[in-house]
Structure 1
């Protein structure tokens, strides 16, 4: 038994079995490719929660196809006896444990990610100072696209020891904040009301969600924060820019001077 039963395990493998197993693997690869291409393309034409549900189904479908492929291929190649299964999975465990330690770590974290779902495709997350929308979730890593259209690959193993911020957590509600610093000499209550009007009149505002305008005093300015939800999370940059521009116009009409945030922080 010095060979761990490998000779007996693989003695039943024939050329026909190899061809059949190869055909199953090719078919599974094609299915995975179609899932990764067609579902995101369909989701891109939709909006709201349906888009998020479709994107979230991609990694789950891929994992299901992989599991079904393994379950199908193993009995084709070897006789599914207890001894054979112990030999095969023992060899796989040793290979993953010694040759692919880091990959196995990320792979296990990927399975945990699919189970716990701390983020899903379509979520806007921040990990290690990187912020963007989750484009895809693989078995080893997730891909996010930043607001500057940069693709960043984040290994799932970072989940073990890194804080993760999720802006919308599987929904289409993403709070955005437009921040302004104004000269203290003005009517605060009036500016608060005018800024609320700014948010409600913006065509990108999801008006049935809460709209909050907060104000706090710093050494050199009054800091206003306009908090609201855009119609689509992907519109967050345009939404914040529009709110800031509209608020600046209000300040100009009211004769209230805007103060540089850098000067305020330096004070």
Structure 2
């Protein structure tokens, strides 16, 4: 195969080099236009239309890259089955030994486009990092955390880690506000008060359900107020609103909050 590999490639004249340059320039320009235009349009939409438009970015970019590769390949080698088999086989060996991790991320990126465990606009947690997906590239994705940090995560994490997707391409994202109360209180009254707090929030999506979940703990009662904001990007303002107004309402009702008891001193070591 090594002896025949040199005869596979064409002699690249000025015309062939110009064609390759035009193909690469056109692909780069299309990708740049795509990555600027579609997010710009999506950020002016809401709900499903915004997420659907953002999810098209990695798929269209992959189509452009594959199309440019298929157009450029006949300019470099003679398009025959034997030649294609030899080139792809050599390329596969090179990637397998020299760029194993990079190739793994590339393959995982193609899988991510097909299976869509995350899309642009999704709020995900990967490897302990939570944030909004802003870019799904060929090798890695980028997400912005609540602290406005840009984090780049290789797609390779798909092979050995879990992906927690809070909204999965939908505008609905459940928010939870926690309240830890002293065990001596009127549960029905607290339930009704917290429900009303969610119902009167300016961020509430009225078509989505509201739930108040109570759970007894050794130190008291834990209440979880679950509801959905109008837009997933409002989740932190919504949770803050539920927490502050819920606390104020419970204090107005005279409900005592739980206080953690100090841990007992460790027993002295015995000789």
Aligned to 2:7: 8
Cα drift, residue 7 of structure 1: 2.4
SS of the residue corresponding to residue 136 of structure 1 reads strand
Mapped pair 1:198 → 2:209: no
Aligned to 2:247: 248
Aligned to 2:267: none
Aligned to 1:103: 102
| Residues 218 and 264, structure 1, Cα contact 8 Å, conserved in 2 | no
Cα 1:19/1:182, change in 2 over 3 Å: same
| Residues 131 and 143, structure 2, Cα contact 8 Å, conserved in 1 | yes
Aligned to 1:175: 174
SS of the residue corresponding to residue 154 of structure 1 reads strand
Length, aligned pairs only = 264
Cα drift, residue 161 of structure 1: 1.0
| Residues 123 and 166, structure 1, Cα contact 8 Å, conserved in 2 | yes
Aligned to 2:268: none
70-79 vs 197-206, which moves further: 70-79
| Residues 221 and 264, structure 1, Cα contact 8 Å, conserved in 2 | no
Mapped pair 1:207 → 2:231: no
Distance 1:25 1:90 in 2: 24
Using structure 1 for the length normalisation, give the TM-score.
0.94
Aligned to 1:237: 236
For structure 2, the 5+ residue unaligned runs are 265-271
Aligned to 2:77: 78
Cα 1:224/1:264, change in 2 over 3 Å: farther
Aligned to 2:127: 128
Mapped pair 1:28 → 2:27: yes
Kindly provide the CA deviation profile for residues 124-148 of structure 1, in whole angstroms up to 9, marking residues without a partner as x.
1111111111111111111111111
Cα drift, residue 265 of structure 1: 10
Aligned to 1:161: 160
Cα drift, residue 264 of structure 1: 6.8
Distance 1:15 1:98 in 2: 34
Aligned to 1:259: 258
Distance 1:18 1:68 in 2: 18
Distance 2:21 2:263 in 1: 65
Mapped pair 1:145 → 2:144: yes
Aligned to 1:187: 186
| Residues 193 and 250, structure 2, Cα contact 8 Å, conserved in 1 | no
For structure 1, the 5+ residue unaligned runs are none
Distance 1:90 1:187 in 2: 72
Using structure 2 for the length normalisation, give the TM-score.
0.93
Mapped pair 1:44 → 2:43: yes
SS of the residue corresponding to residue 230 of structure 1 reads coil
RMSD over aligned Cα, in angstroms? 1.6
74-83 vs 192-201, which moves further: 74-83
SS of the residue corresponding to residue 223 of structure 2 reads strand
Distance 2:96 2:159 in 1: 18
Distance 2:23 2:42 in 1: 28
Cα drift, residue 51 of structure 1: 0.7
Distance 2:87 2:131 in 1: 40
SS of the residue corresponding to residue 89 of structure 2 reads helix
